Structure 1
Amino acid sequence: MDIKNLKTLRAIAETGSFQAAANQLNYAQSTVTFQVQQLEQELSLQLFEKVGRKMVFTTAGKNLLPAVDRILGTVTEMQNYGKADAELTGDLRIAIPDTLLTYRMQPILKAFHAQVPAVQLSLQMANCFAIPQLVANGTVDLGVHYDVGGYGNSLAVTRLRDFPLVLVASAQLDSRTVDLRQVHQRLTCALITDDRESIYHKKFMKAIAARDIVFSNFLEIGSVEAVKRSVISNLGIAYLPKFVVQPELDTGQLQVLPTEFDGQTLTAVYIQRKSQQESRMLTTFIKTLATSFS
């Protein structure tokens, strides 16, 4: 069995299509199709089926992905046998939400690269509720995100630390005009978020719903940094992890608005498959991650 064919199968799982996998691997799409057909013949299994215009994994194809991941992991470990950390090679795939990637990961990435400079690190930005599935199906090797619960028996979850949440507004805003400590309100200012499916936005909406507070305007922007710029410009208010806005709070560009649910937190965790063979690359990254978050 050709290892290249297994790498192609994993690339399809990562990218979601034959063409995207071909682009990632610098192959023609016909090459990807041929490699998949070779695998199907060798295994006597149908790995994909056509649904509409797309080729999607069959149940057998999905069930084989963890085994493919283990094989490729073993190959990488064999290639790295006897090497010093600085000589390690291979790929490490991590899923992480925007806030942690943008505002917490740079020192970690720098330290990790200094230890294993030849390792190719792939960071996939994803919603916290989607990350467990990406880890479970082998699309990524590690998930670093906020605890959302419901992981099942196949994933190991390790706590990193808690982060407080704050409601922030522009320093230009008169805080007396937006007082969430009062119930039964209809507010005319805009509520701004980077992702209405984020865990911190869901926490906020649950808290204000319990107090019968409704915002008449809602603005969803796909970037946390753009959310901050918008709030600083007094376009609305936002509920975010405090570390995201701490520099702007320190310089007086933003202010924290008091609420009756002050003290809410998010718990950062990392998750991995229990069946996963932990490589030296992954072990090094986890140690660097844990040190940074301690």
Structure 2
Amino acid sequence: MELNDLRIFKTVAELGSVSQAAAELSYVQSNVTARIKQLEKELQTELFYRHKRGMVLNAEGKRLMVYAEDILGKAEEIKHAFGTDRPAGILNIGIVETVIKLPGILSSYLEKHPQVELSLTVGVTEQLVQDVAGMKLDGAFVTGPVKHPLIEYQEVFREELILVAKSDVFSLEDVTKKPLLLFNKGCGYRERLERWLKDEGVIPRQIMQLGSFETIIGSIAAGIGITIVPRSSVRRLLEEGTLHGFAIPKPYNEITTIFIRRKDSYLSNTLRSFMEELQSAGV
């Protein structure tokens, strides 16, 4: 059974005439008749009452009409979805949890392209790179640089990393006295801090791995330990005096957020428009 057979069947049923259906579809009448007979043969049942004035659906024909309308309707939806330059469909994007500027970007994009549905996956840089390379995600915001043979990227914005604590006084010696509250292994911020401490010959007292930004910041505000985050992610808390920030020397304090995608994957109109939005945002 072909999709066109259902289209011919539906047209005959609606017009009640093979000749009228043939004219409507620009087919020869014998071809329409042959396709209806072939459809009836495949389904092993007659679909019409035939009389001198034309054709009328019988009970089995009415059953088939329900399926035909649904199938042909879905076919039109598919043509509409894939036959247009307008961004549409689901866009699977990964993010690191502290990309504070991201909501503004997403809001602007969705306002321009209401037919797009965004699905967000939160994770650490290492895992998100694997998910993009494995084509589980269309793209992801991660900490750069990323060196992977299957990945290409564009820089989105640069930020300053700082140490954050409840106390307004800090020295490197404090790291040997209070635990570090960090994301899981694979986090770009954590990697920068561990590299700096190693270069300084400082061994942390303890590293506590926590799963969410809110949990880490809440624990820091409670005086439990110290963490490393982009300054923008805690700017309000710093201004309020709830937390205190401390500078980290270069080059450990420079962090770049990049948007990555698998270089050999199909660049859909939806993903292309999203990447263009990132460029135009100028963040």
After TM superposition, the score normalised by the length of structure 2 is 0.65
Corresponding residue number in structure 2 for 1:92: 91
Corresponding residue number in structure 2 for 1:81: 83
The one-letter code of the counterpart of 2:270 is M
Q: Structure 1 residues 138 and 196, CA, compared in 2 at 3 Å: closer, same or farther?
A: closer
After TM superposition, the score normalised by the length of structure 1 is 0.63
Query: Would you say 1:167 and 2:163 are equivalent positions?
Result: yes
Indicate the SS of the match to 2:156: strand
Deviations 1:14-67 (A, max 9, x none): xxxxxxxxxxxxxxxxxxxxxxxxxxxxxxxxxxxxxxxxxxxxxxxxxxxxxx
Q: Structure 1 residues 90 and 164, CA, compared in 2 at 3 Å: closer, same or farther?
A: same
CA distance in 2, matches of 1:186, 1:126: 25
The one-letter code of the counterpart of 1:163 is E
Query: Would you say 1:204 and 2:193 are equivalent positions?
Result: yes
Q: Structure 1 residues 228 and 186, CA, compared in 2 at 3 Å: closer, same or farther?
A: closer
- 8 Å Cα contact 1:91-1:122 kept in structure 2: yes
Corresponding residue number in structure 1 for 2:171: 179
Indicate the SS of the match to 1:222: coil
User: What displacement does 1:76 show?
Assistant: 7.0
- 8 Å Cα contact 1:162-1:265 kept in structure 2: yes
Q: Which has the larger radius of gyration?
A: 2
Indicate the SS of the match to 1:215: coil
Q: Which of 213, 234, 250 is matched with 2:223 structurally?
A: 234
Q: Structure 1 residues 128 and 293, CA, compared in 2 at 3 Å: closer, same or farther?
A: farther
User: What displacement does 1:252 show?
Assistant: 1.4
Query: Would you say 1:269 and 2:269 are equivalent positions?
Result: no
Q: Which of 137, 162, 178 is matched with 1:189 structurally?
A: 178
CA distance in 2, matches of 1:109, 1:253: 29
User: What displacement does 1:113 show?
Assistant: 1.6
Question: What RMSD over aligned residues (CA atoms) do the two structures have, in Å?
Answer: 2.5
Query: Would you say 1:283 and 2:276 are equivalent positions?
Result: no
CA distance in 2, matches of 1:244, 1:144: 15
- 8 Å Cα contact 1:179-1:258 kept in structure 2: no
What is the number of equivalent residue pairs in this alignment?
207
- 8 Å Cα contact 1:192-1:219 kept in structure 2: yes
Corresponding residue number in structure 2 for 1:250: 239
- 8 Å Cα contact 1:207-1:261 kept in structure 2: no
Corresponding residue number in structure 2 for 1:117: 114
Q: Structure 1 residues 227 and 233, CA, compared in 2 at 3 Å: closer, same or farther?
A: same
User: What displacement does 1:229 show?
Assistant: 1.4
| Percentage identity across paired residues of the two chains | 21
User: What displacement does 1:278 show?
Assistant: 2.0
Indicate the SS of the match to 2:232: helix
Structure 1 stretches of 5 or more lacking a match? 1-74
- 8 Å Cα contact 2:196-2:252 kept in structure 1: no
Corresponding residue number in structure 1 for 2:129: 132
User: What displacement does 1:125 show?
Assistant: 1.4
Deviations 1:105-129 (A, max 9, x none): 2112211221122222111112211
